[in-house]
Chains A and B, each alone.
Chain A
Amino acid sequence: MTNTENLVHELVEKHGRDRNSLMPILQGLVSQEKFLSEEAMIAIAKELDLSAADVYGTASFYTFLDTVPRGKNIIRICKTISCHMRNKDEIIAVLEDQLKVKVGETTHDKRFTLLTANCLGWCHKGPVMLVNDEVFPEVTPQKAIEIVEEYIKKSN
């Protein structure tokens, strides 16, 4: 078995073969592999006795279940109104400049993917930045750069 198939098998053993287990299994894969590959979705379909199209249908519905390859660290900047009012555009611009990518892209070294998000639930402390599952409220352009630098250090 490949690494992905092994991982799918482990997750299925942990969460069960019931359809209700599909979301935790998909989430487990994304947390390990950063996206849901075709191979992973086919393996899940086999284990849960579902069609692969059905698995893809669920996977492609959710923002946090990526079906295209993402970087090791996923940065999401909230783009909805309160963060917009607090200059989220400046944060996006400074990150695009630092990472040399546009929103939606992944850096060449696959360390970072830069995305926007529809409300992260910190409207009183915008602009807010989510790196993987870690939240950074009231981000300034300088702070955004430092956060990314910290992540670079951690992954070195």
Chain B
Amino acid sequence: MEQLQLKKVDIIFGWDEKVTPIDVYDKTIKKSADSIILDMIDSGLKGRGGAGFPTGLKWKFTRNEDSDAKYVICNADEGEPGTFKDREILDRVPEKVFTGMAICAYVIGAREGYIYVRGEYNFLLKSLQKKVDLFNQQLAERKSDFTIYLRSGSGAYVCGEESALFESMEGKRGEPRNKPPYPTVSGYNGKPTVINNVETLVYTCEICRMGSEKFKSFGTFDSRGSKVFSVSGDTPTPGIYELELGMPLKDFVEEFADGDAKAVQIGGASGHCVPRKKFNETIIGFEGIPTGGSMMIFNSTRSMYNVLHDYLEFFTEESCGQCTPCRVGCQQLLKGIEAVKKGEKSPTYLEDLKKLTLTMKIAAKCGLGQSVANPFISIVDNFKEEIIY
């Protein structure tokens, strides 16, 4: 397997002053929609929100739908504990996000685009609105009929799930929908919709600027390009970093941890917890452990019981309550580890709880309930004695 060393890059925030995002738009829309889609597919860009669906295909499927209205939605409902990259992107290079949206709109034939910003980031809205207005004006000057609007969330983690986000935008409880149909067929207002994460849209802009060949030269065969990582926990250098995908976790720990790391939670609360003994063999990328970007480092002073307890409390509170496996499952897992810790249940009860997470993985309606198994099993398996004693 192709393996990289950790490499920092500066694509997103490294500005080439000579080329502005609107220049990228002007240059790109001279090409046909089909050729832009081919560039996206060729670049190998996969969604940076965590699920990793190929962006070019998403655009292609939506373009192929016949509909009187289509939408482009930027998912800025970043709510995974440990993730804060989208806020930084929206704050520092929002025009690149708008450009990605406008190019997507050109490709699929959309007239309206929305940026759904999580309620916790309301402080960004005022300055963002000014920049959106300016960008919309630039689009209007180019005779484009595409307009971007801002929408604010109201504090619900599950609204980061694309169909729950549509429900929220439609004035309903943010509960995930049954799939299929997928958003490319029936999204916002039941119309074909491309919904991309903030970072994904920035990379679409960058691919249009630098070309797919150049983008492909970053990362590995399975994990093309770079990505922004949010680093937090026991690290002397918390913050956001743009790194090439496909690096060994060992390199990441050497670069960012405090020398005493015993575990790294990759992909936020819903991701996998990797213990020290597996740092060497773990690859960060689609060929190893994919991540939306959150990297939380825990050193030997931390109780992994407390870490898991925090995650389970989070999921219990943020479960939308619609489907039983998630609503009841999260509560039972939380009560379960508390009971084991207090000695009210035998340690073997953890095995029953693991089976419950596997049921949730199969039976829960959306990614929230499905992914609780990731932290639960990886922490219980690797730090069992800390959960029990």
> Judging by beta carbons under 8 Å apart, are B82 and A81 in contact?
yes
> Judging by beta carbons under 8 Å apart, are B310 and A23 in contact?
no
Q: Is A58 an interface residue (CB 8 A)?
A: yes
A58 to B156, CA, bound (A): 12
Chain B interface residue number, banded = 35 or more
> Judging by beta carbons under 8 Å apart, are B314 and A118 in contact?
yes
> Judging by beta carbons under 8 Å apart, are B155 and A117 in contact?
yes
Given contacts A118-B318, A123-B232, contact A81 B168 (CB under 8 A): no
Over the window 75-111 of chain A, the binary record of Cβ atoms lying under 8 Å from chain B Cβ atoms (1 yes, 0 no) is: 0000011101100000000000000000000000000
Q: Is A153 an interface residue (CB 8 A)?
A: no
Chain A interface residue number, banded = 20 to 34
Chain B residues within 8 Å of A58, by CB = 171-173
Chain A residues within 8 Å of B157, by CB = 118-119
- Chain A residue nearest in CB terms to B301: A85
Q: Is A130 an interface residue (CB 8 A)?
A: yes
> Judging by beta carbons under 8 Å apart, are B230 and A22 in contact?
no
- B83 contact from A20, A26, A117, A123, Cβ within 8 A: A123
> Judging by beta carbons under 8 Å apart, are A27 and B238 in contact?
no
Which of A23, A123, A125, A130: most chain B Cβ within 10 A? A123
> Judging by beta carbons under 8 Å apart, are B84 and A121 in contact?
yes
> Judging by beta carbons under 8 Å apart, are B155 and A81 in contact?
no
8 Å CB interface, A110-146 against B? 117-126, 130, 133-135
CB distance from A54 to the nearest CB of B (A): 8
CB distance from B97 to the nearest CB of A (A): 16
Chain B residues within 8 Å of A24, by CB = 151-152
- Chain B residue nearest in CB terms to A60: B173
Q: Is B23 an interface residue (CB 8 A)?
A: no
> Judging by beta carbons under 8 Å apart, are A62 and B174 in contact?
yes
Chain A residues within 8 Å of B121, by CB = 121
Q: Is B269 an interface residue (CB 8 A)?
A: yes
The segment out of B56-64, B73-81, B203-211 that lies at the interface is B73-81
Chain A residues within 8 Å of B170, by CB = 19-20
A84 to B310, CA, bound (A): 9
- B84 contact from A85, A122, A130, Cβ within 8 A: A122
Chain A residues within 8 Å of B168, by CB = 23
- A135 contact from B82, B123, B153, Cβ within 8 A: B123
Given contacts A119-B81, A123-B296, contact A82 B155 (CB under 8 A): no
Chain A residues within 8 Å of B317, by CB = 118
A23 to B78, CA, bound (A): 18
A125 to B87, CA, bound (A): 13
Q: Is B240 an interface residue (CB 8 A)?
A: yes
In order of increasing CB-CB distance, the 10 nearest A-B pairs are A22-B171, A63-B155, A124-B238, A62-B154, A123-B232, A64-B155, A61-B173, A133-B122, A80-B81, A64-B154
26 contacts between A and B (CB under 8 A): A20-B171, A22-B171, A24-B151, A61-B173, A61-B174, A62-B153, A62-B174, A63-B119, A63-B156, A64-B154, A81-B307, A82-B81, A82-B296, A84-B306, A85-B234, A85-B302, A117-B155, A118-B318, A119-B314, A121-B78, A121-B84, A122-B84, A123-B81, A123-B233, A124-B231, A133-B122
B residues at A contact (CB < 8 Å)? 78-84, 87, 118-123, 151-157, 168-174, 189, 230-234, 238-240, 269, 294, 296, 302, 306-307, 310-311, 314, 317-318, 320
Task: Name 20 extra pairs, CB < 8 A, besides A20-B170, A27-B152.
Answer: A22-B171, A58-B173, A61-B320, A62-B174, A63-B155, A81-B81, A81-B233, A81-B269, A81-B296, A81-B307, A82-B82, A82-B296, A84-B306, A85-B302, A121-B120, A123-B82, A123-B233, A123-B238, A123-B294, A126-B232
